[in-house]
Amino acid sequence: MDCILNQTHFLNARLADGTVADLTVAGGRFRAIAPAGNAAGSSAIDLAGQLVLPAFVEGHIHLDTSFYGDAWRPHIPCTNGFDVRERVAFQMRNLAQAAPMAERAKSQLELCVGHGSLAMRSHVMVDAAVGLKHVETILGVREKYRDLIDIQLVAFPQSGILSSPGTAELLDEALKLGCDLIGGLDPASFDRDVKGHLEIVFGLAEKRGAGVDIHLHDGGTLGLFEIEEIAARTTASGMQGKVAVSHAYALGDISADALARAGERIAAAGLAIMTNAPGDHAFPPVAALRKAGVTVFAGSDNIRDSWWPYGDGDMLNRANMIGYRSGFYEDWELEAAYDVVSQAGAKALGLEGYGIAAGAKADFVALKAEHVPEAVVAVPKERTVYRAGREVARGGKVVA
Ligand SMILES: [Zn+2]
């Protein structure tokens, strides 16, 4: 009886398939989805034909290093072409003058929730200079926001592992403190030891039962070699479905034949590939990888930080960028771009109860669009975001 009393009905919700339905929510989950006009009860919210989508998945962000909500930091170019070490040095200089990390992380979190992301994976810097300070702060932020958004944290070796003595021990400690995954960074170009780097990453993952998500910027055949090594280790460790490679630029550099072979290996190893469809850069071909059965997901990555000034925390806008840069025009292609920021993201993050279905969590976004392809192209800014069936954001602002 109690369950019936606490039901909320969302009337006239347009579903992705174009039908209009009434959604019944109780205990934070969808209990029934029925053709419009069938729900009864006093507690009803009329969605008036708005499109209802599961809340977006922000699959790659850096909560500790953004200056969103803080003073504007003009971008400093590298002196002789892109150089990760030089950018890390710029970042250290910028962070020394920044507002407190918890405040900046909070601004960035609310930006994302305001646009409709209710699940997120954030990389958090761990190295000999900052130790576990970033991890401890972001763990505190996660705890404060746990009712609003689900956050996975990656212990991220921003200064390498082998080239930054003491980092392996710090990464282990970060996992013990509560990070869910262990990260990595360009095993070849940064640490210059692919085997040594991956042995530590996968060793700690197995020891702590953690997932893996590695930043890989290395391009061409070098990057491809590293992806193959990561795939082999994933299979050897029985970690299929728990490992991701972020950026994987190399997949955008290689021939169609090489990509087809790589796609097969990546899919067989259950490796997920994260892309943010970066501006002036080759990136993993989304359509070809999806066709090969690879889970391709997306994230904002850097938002107004020491790496670049872009980013708005809007995963629907990210789907638009992915579609635009991929040359997606047909409806099924636009739907694929949307899938990258929703279902595929949920799969990559291993989220339970994702979607608009009876039994799924009632975490959703209502917006004005006829269907998914129109939402991806128009990116309507007016949205209402619901967490466990409760309104938490409207017009881009968190209200709860
Ligand atoms: Zn990143």
Q: Rounded to the nearest whole angstrom, what is the distance from the C-alpha of residue 47 to the centroid of ligand 1? A: 36
Give the HSE-up count for residue 34: Cα atoms under 13 Å, Cβ half-sphere: 10
Report the separation in Å between the CA atom of 213 and the middle of ligand 1, taken as the mean of its atom positions: 10
Instruction: Write down the pLDDT at residue 315.
Output: 98
Residue 217: pLDDT over 50: yes
DSSP secondary structure letters along 207-271: HHT-EEEEEE---HHHHHHHHHHHHHHHHHTT-TTSEEEEE-GGGGTS-HHHHHHHHHHHHHTTE
Mean pLDDT of 60-82: 94
- Tell me the CA–centroid distance for residue 215 and ligand 1, in Å: 6
Q: Per-residue pLDDT for 103 more than 90?
A: yes
Give the pLDDT mean for 366-393: 97
What percent of the chain has a predicted confidence (pLDDT) above 70? 98
Give the Å distance between the CA of 4 and the centre of ligand 1. 44
Q: d(Cα 84, Cα 313) in Å, to the nearest integer?
A: 23
Q: How far is the CA of 275 from the centre of ligand 1 (A)?
A: 10
- pLDDT tens, residue by residue, 134-187: 999 999 999 999 999 999 999 999 999 999 999 999 999 999 999 999 999 999
199 alpha carbon – ligand 1 mean position (Å): 21
Q: What is the DSSP string of 362-392?
A: --EEEES-SSHHHHHHH--S-EEEEETTEEE
Q: What are 183's two structure tokens?
A: 């990260």
What local confidence, expressed as pLDDT, does residue 82 receive? Answer: 85
CA distances from 355 to 126, 271, 335, 361 (A): 33, 22, 15, 7
pLDDT at residue 2 is higher than 70: no
Span from the CA of 83 to the centroid of ligand 1 (angstroms):
15
Tokens 């994933």 identify what position?
234
Centre of ligand 1 from the C-alpha of residue 2, in Å: 45
Whether the Cβ atoms of residue 108 and residue 327 lie closer than 8 Å to each other: no
Are 117 and 109 within 8 A, CB to CB?
no
Ligand 1 centre to CA of 257 (Å) is: 28
Give me ligand 1 centre to Cα 181, in Å. 14
d(CA 396, CA 393): 6
Measured between alpha carbons, how far apart are the two ends of the chain, in Å?
Answer: 28
DSSP 60-115: EE-TTT--TTS--------BTB--HHHHHHHHHHHHHTSSPHHHHHHHHHHHHHHH
Asked if 213 and 181 count as a contact pair (C-beta separation under 8 A), the reply is: yes
CA 62 to ligand 1 center in whole angstroms: 6
- Rounded to the nearest angstrom, the distance between the alpha carbon of 23 and the centre of ligand 1 is 37
Does the structure show a pLDDT above 80 at 84? yes
With cut-offs at 50, 70 and 90, classify the pLDDT of residue 127.
Answer: very high
Distance 168 CA to ligand 1 centre (A): 19
Average pLDDT, the chain: 95
Residue 282 CA to ligand 1 center (angstroms) comes to 16
285 Cα to the center of ligand 1, angstroms: 19
- Ligand 1 centroid to residue 177 C-alpha, Å: 21
Distance from the alpha carbon of residue 318 to the mean position of ligand 1, in angstroms: 15
Report, as an integer, the average pLDDT of 274-300: 96
22 C-alpha vs ligand 1 centroid, how far in Å? 39
The rounded Å distance from CA 273 to ligand 1 centre is 13
- What is the pTM assigned to this prediction? 0.96
pLDDT over 80 at 3, yes or no? no
Cα 60 to ligand 1 centroid, rounded to whole Å = 6
Residue appearing with tokens 């969808």: 30
Lowest mean pLDDT among 12-21, 60-69, 80-89: 80-89
CA angle 32, 38, 41 (to 5 degrees): 80
Which of these ranges, 77-91, 101-115, 140-154, 257-271, has the smallest mean pLDDT?
77-91
Ligand 1 center–CA 301 separation, angstroms = 5
Query: What is the whole-number distance in angstroms between the Cα of residue 97 and the centre of ligand 1?
Result: 21
**217 Cα: distance to centroid of ligand 1 (angstroms):** 10
From the CA of 232, how far away is ligand 1's center (Å)? 23
Q: Cα(276) to centroid of ligand 1, in Å?
A: 9
